[in-house]
Structure 1
Amino acid sequence: MKRLILMVMAVLFSSLTWAQSPTKRASGENGGSIKRGERGTHMKSRDNAEPGRLQLSAFGGLSMPMGRYKNEIGRAKNGYFGGLAVDQYFRGNKWGIGLDARFLNHDMRKFDSVFFDNGHIGTTYFNHPSFQHIALSVGPTYRASFGKVDLEAFLRGGVLFEGFPQYAQSIYVNAAAGPPAKLFDTYYTSNSKEKTKSWMGLGGIRISYALNNNWGLFAQADYLRAFGKSFGKDSSEFYVTRYNEKKTLGAKDVLNVKDGQITNILDFYEEQPITQKTFVQAINVGLGIKYTFGSKRKPAPAPVTKTVAPPAPAAPKDILVVVKDKQTGFALSGVKVKVSRNGADNTSISNADGQAERIKAAEKGAYLVTAVKNGIAAEPVNIAEEDFNKAGNVIYKEIFHDDPRFTLIGETVRANDNSKLPGIGTVLTNTGNSRNMTQISDAEAKFVYQLEQASDYHIVASQAGKFSQTESVTTKGLDRSKTLYVTLKLGVSNLDAGAVFVLKNIHYDFDKWNIRPDAGRILDNLVNVMAQNPGLRIELSSHTDSRGKDAYNLRLSQQRAESAVNYLVSKGVARDRMVAKGYGETRLLNRCANGVDCSEDEHQANRRTEIKVLKY
């Protein structure tokens, strides 16, 4: 079988080489002469050979052991294999060099237990009862292309990292009391090491079908075997030692034991053991997927026997690339766009209309367009030579970026007049997992964050001498196929002595003054403000509406103010930097005094928590 496979591979290599050499066959058929016009044509064909492409392949499937490795010595069963291959083809994409890395697993056929009159024969497995190998190899690859079908043949050499099972088949004789005693090993592994190495060879055929310019599916068959008896100082083969049977132990046979020895063992087994060995070999059949970098150039036309004037070069054209959000179709700004050809890149950032920098008077050829934003790459777009033959002076291409997240576009502004305030640090917190992200607003006072779907966030300014409210942002209820952007203006104020700020979203349960978790997150912002401004001293006050008795409201508001101060103290803020003050209903912000009929919203305006800057 091994010789047959090697012969088939040799024939395939020869056939492929002959099939891919039309120039040589043509010259031979014409008596070995080339006309002057033909010579120029052939030279041009070689100059226009397709640049070599890099190919990555992943594969896996059935691995079938062979020979003594499968049969009486190795006892290896059909298993599985999987791996990766990298092939770098040379110019023309016929010959290349490849690297193959794979894992093979062959479970072994276990031994059956044998029972006789006063005992049994059993097998102990000291590790996994399987052969597990890692193969690393490198060597030449040859490819023949037939439209969308590629036929590749490869030959590799390298190192096989071998993992052998360890076991012993033993005779156990029943004892008068206690468990059976192990008295004799009839069959056991005798490897110098459980894990060792060997030289290896690998050869095979791969037939692939191109799904598009880069992706393809393939079927693969190859033969792998180990070579040599040793690798360095270590043995490379699998060893077993056994005693040949003279007579098979049957159910009625009795083994006689005296002083821990079996006296009639030679009735059943030869006196001297024999040691056998085998190397690893297997045929592997599987399926895989491959990705080929770059673009595939169409084959040059067959050479002609008469001189033809070269066609006029196509006029240069501008290339315009527009980036769009795949889910909404909106133009996408801030995307890094790269237009590449023959190793040269033109890189730019898309503008507010999604347009990358226009490439003017681009030469005719094949181009690859890629785009990346927020670490996510868009599906590449190809510009073919045929695009230069179409009408018009501009080649227009759209590339679609697919990021499932929403985009928060924020702006830091002065709280008193909404004018832009650049260079302000911001902190965005995901309330679901408490993860924080930070960013400083740019020269246009803008900041941008990516928001996960169906999530709640808090955002605040974080900068010495500044204060902002804790603003809430949510993507819950938003449809990503219709919405891309979420906008926010973050008002920022100076921490001037005498300044008063209402802390938004500080809520207490009815008739309670303990700090709820949602209020705690708001107060955590105040903790950061106090930490960034060690010279800051504040009054933290609580206010109620006019409903209820005046004395009760005064007492409840004082308890709430003290709870807020105690929370800040628990977070490390010195108590002497804060004053807790409850004002009850003494500082109403509107007309809603005792006895005045007001709406719930008007009463809500009076229920608030404030901070006043006492010293900064």
Structure 2
Amino acid sequence: MKKLIFTWIMMLVATLSWAQKLSDTLSGERTGKLQIAAFGGLSMPMGAYKGDVGRAKNGYHAGIAIDKYFKGNNWGIGVDARFLNHDIRKFDSVFFSNGYIATDYVNHPSFQHIGVSIGPSYKAALGKLDLEAFLRGGVLFQGFPEYTQSVFINQAVGPALNLFDNYYTNNPNRITKAWMGLGGFRLSYHIDKNWGVFVQGDYLRTFGKNFGGDSSEFHVSGYQQKKAITSADVFTIKGDKITNLSDFYEEVPVSQRTFVQAVNVAAGIRFTFGSKKRQAPVKAAPVKKAVAPVVSAKDILVVVKDKQTGLALSGVTVTISRNGGDEVSVSNSNGEAERIKSAQRGSYQIKAVKNGIAAIPVAISDIDFDKSGALIYKEIYHDDPRFTLIGETISANNNAKLPGISTVLTNTGTDKNMSQISDGEAKFVYQLDQQSDYNVVANQAGKFSQTEGVSTKGLDRSKTLYVTLKLGINNLDAGAIFVLKNIHYDFDKSAIRPDAARTLDNLLNIMIQNPTLRIELSSHTDSRGKDQYNMTLSQNRAQAAVNYLVSKGVERSRMEAQGYGETRLLNNCGNGVECSEEDHQKNRRTEIKVLKY
């Protein structure tokens, strides 16, 4: 591919050389100008290339343009060579009861193209400004991403099994070519007789389905989903096949394809060979006046703050840009981006993004360099109306940090789930909507955690930014006993309430993830009421919990229901002893005991 690009460029250069000689011969003098421009900037995909087929995001492009103008400096011929990069929107992982859906990216998840083109140019001079229009045709050397989205089923031992590819790229060739067209405008400003700066905008797209026998378009195929997959769904497995796959996906995949198209905006610098003839009256040499020294360089320090509380904000991606060059860093615990030392005088643009939300940009200009001091200090305010949950996965026994634990956050109002694995510091971070309740649990084979509740109801976002949680993790060892939090029953009833069902759903996931696990599920009462009545009520409640899990697909042989009534009190609040409601509550509990694992 490199040899082909080099050959194409050499042909374009030879064409320009021939045009230069022809212009000189016809005019008798070298009146047409030859210019070289280097540029770079933003590239914005369009149509299906940007949509669900290509999934291309805004990216960048950079290149060079060479234009040779003929006699009169209006019409000419030019070449354009550029590189374009568009990252793709990655797919979110989806978790269900006995597995998950994840995407494997074979190569770098982006489109990477090299375009080479030639065509006519037209220029109109407006004082120190030049307005140029250009139209090009050529070849786009395309590099496509490759990925496969698959359904994985968890095993009791070993890694999850990939049993079904539901969405995937199927390009005949990952590296291919296409005919391309390019058209746009360039507005240039003359700094002196040779150098100038410019901004330009253009539109690029490919044409045709094939080039030299190769497909020129990007291809994807996938099975359309019949319904959304939730955390409660179960894929039934027989051997290495999913028997209820048709409940979730259509039987025949749908193939789609798209050509490449993008709108590009850029800035750059231009050099024109020779001198530009301009008639100007002869003026007397000006008298030089003493001027104050100009500061050419200063350090730049950017601090990110939460707009609503004014607190310093860490983990924010800060980009400081000048002339297409970017300095990118992540704010530390003091909200500080990496300091830029000895920044050259000029205009800078500061942007900040966290959790997909961008702050209002801040600018630096020459005025900031004229102010006293060796440091330019700027604050940028990030405005996310959500609260930030900072959680930590720890051992329930000794509070030691446990990194690499899979967690699931559920909005109890919408049943929407999100998942995250705690990092090397055992931390996990979620964004929480205002006035909402959430449950957080661990979701990992061989592990057990309580269903912990988190609420933002009653919190004032202008005063509070962070919500913290420590999630205790237990090992599923034989003989271990755990109290299930938040299992409540109506007075004198054994029916499973909706709030209790959420906690039992966590236990359901644990039973599914650990198919060799056998448990005793027991219920306990306080000492109030008759002993036999309490024994019967607790047995009914334990049996109701087991029946609920059986209705969700857990084999009854893996569970034993046991009611203990008031025979296993955790304190001295026995018959006839006066105790507070809080002390009685400690005895009203539901427990699980690991019988075998």
TM-score by length of 1: 0.52
- Residue segments in structure 1 that go unaligned for 5+ positions in a row: 1-45, 57-89, 96-138, 146-151, 157-291, 296-301
The match for 1:445 among 417, 420, 426 is 426
Match of 1:420 in 2: 401
Who wins on radius of gyration, i.e. which is larger?
Answer: 1
Shift of 1:326: 1.0
Amino acid at match of 1:372: V
Distance change >3 Å, CA 55–CA 520, structure 1 → 2: closer
Q: C-alpha offsets along residues 502-525 of structure 1, whole Å, 9 cap, x if unaligned?
A: 000100000100100000000000
Q: Hey, what's the Cα distance between the residues in 1 that align with 2:312 and 2:540? A: 53
> Which residue in the other structure is 2:566 paired with?
585
For residues 23-62 of structure 1, what are the structure 2 equivalents within 5 Å?
A: none
Instruction: Map 1:73-84; keep pairs closer than 5 Å.
Output: none
Q: Which residue of 2 aligns with 1:373?
A: 354
- 1:121-270 to structure 2, matched below 5 A, reads none
1:574 counterpart residue number? 555
How far apart are the structure 2 equivalents of 1:143 and 1:325?
Answer: 48
Q: Is the 8 A contact 1:319 1:360 kept in 2?
A: yes
The answer to whether the Cα contact below 8 Å between 1:294 and 1:368 also exists between their aligned partners in 2 is no
Per the alignment, residue 285 of structure 2 pairs with: 306
Structure 2 counterpart SS, 1:481:
coil
- Distance in 2 (alpha carbons) for counterparts of 1:499 and 1:596: 30
C-alpha distance in 2, partners of 1:141/1:478? 62
CA offsets 1:388-433 (integer angstroms, 9 cap, x no match): 1211111100111111111000011111222211111100000111
- 1:143 deviates by 12
Cα gap change, 1:389 to 1:513, in 2 (>3 Å): same
Per the alignment, residue 513 of structure 1 pairs with 494
**2:480 alignment partner in structure 1:** 499
Question: Which position in structure 1 is the counterpart of 2:413?
Answer: 432
Report the TM-score when normalising by structure 2. 0.54
Matches of 1:566 and 1:593 in 2, distance apart?
30
Mapping of residues 279-298 of structure 1, within 5 Å = none
Farther off after superposition, 346-355 or 568-577: 568-577
| Cα RMSD after superposing both structures | 4.2
* AA at the equivalent of 1:417: N
Q: Could you tell me how far apart the structure 1 residues matched to 2:376 and 2:384 are?
A: 26
Which residue in 1 is equivalent to 2:580?
Answer: 599
Contact 2:439 2:454 in 1 (8 A): yes
The residue type equivalent to 2:564 in the other structure is Y
Q: SS state of the match for residue 388, structure 1?
A: helix
Report what 2:537 is aligned to: 556
* Cα distance, 1:552 vs structure 2: 0.6
Separation in 2, partners of 1:294, 1:484? 39
Where does residue 22 of structure 2 map in the other structure?
none
- The sequence identity of aligned pairs, in percent, is 68
Q: Structure 1 residues 521, 140: CA separation in 2 closer, same or farther (over 3 Å shift)?
A: farther
The answer to whether the 8 Å contact 1:468/1:491 transfers is: yes
In structure 2, the partner of 1:128 is none
Q: Report the CA distance shift for 1:144/1:422 in structure 2 as closer, same or farther (over 3 A).
A: farther
- Structure 1 counterpart of 2:338, which letter? E
Q: Select the residue among 363, 369, 373 that pairs with 1:382.
A: 363
Selected match of 2:454 from 462, 466, 473? 473
Q: Is 2:523 the partner of 1:542?
A: yes
Asked if residue 331 in structure 1 is aligned to residue 312 in structure 2, the reply is yes
Distance 1:528 1:359 in 2: 49
1:528 to 500, 505, 509: 509
Q: Which residue of 1 aligns with 2:298?
A: 317
* CA 293–543 in structure 1, closer or farther in 2 if over 3 Å, else same: farther
**In 1, are the aligned partners of 2:294 and 2:370 still within 8 Å (CA)?**
no
1:353 to 330, 334, 342: 334
For 1:464, the aligned partner's letter is: A
Q: Per-residue deviation at 1:53?
A: 9.5
1: CA distance, partners of 2:43 / 2:582: 67
> In the alignment, does 2:462 pair up with 1:462?
no
Q: Distance in 2 between matches of 1:376 and 1:142?
A: 42
- Check 1:383–1:498 CA distance in 2 against 1; reply closer, same or farther (3 A cut): same
SS at match of 2:379: strand
Conserved in 2, the CA contact under 8 Å of 1:544 and 1:557? yes
What are the superposed Cα offsets for residues 236-281 of structure 1, whole Å, 9 maximum, x if unpaired? xxxxxxxxxxxxxxxxxxxxxxxxxxxxxxxxxxxxxxxxxxxxxx
Cα deviation digits, residues 42-78 of structure 1 (max 9, x gap): xxxx99x9x999999xxxxxxxxxxxxxxxxxxxxxx
Which stretches of structure 1, 4 residues or longer, exceed 2 Å deviation after superposition? 51-56, 139-145, 292-295, 302-315
Contact 1:543 1:585 in 2 (8 A): yes
Q: Any idea what SS the aligned residue of 1:524 has?
A: helix
CA gap of 1:55–1:408, structure 2 versus 1, over 3 A, is: closer
Q: CA deviation at 1:141?
A: 11
User: CA 1:52–1:374 in structure 2 vs 1: closer, same or farther (change >3 Å)?
Assistant: closer
Query: Which residue of 384, 405, 422 corresponds with 2:386?
Result: 405
C-alpha displacement of 1:317 = 1.0
2:303 maps to amino acid: V
Report the Cα distance in structure 2 between the residues aligned to 1:602 and 1:580, rounded to whole angstroms. 25
C-alpha distance after superposition, 1:102-137 (max 9, x if no partner)? xxxxxxxxxxxxxxxxxxxxxxxxxxxxxxxxxxxx
Deviations 1:14-36 (A, max 9, x none): xxxxxxxxxxxxxxxxxxxxxxx
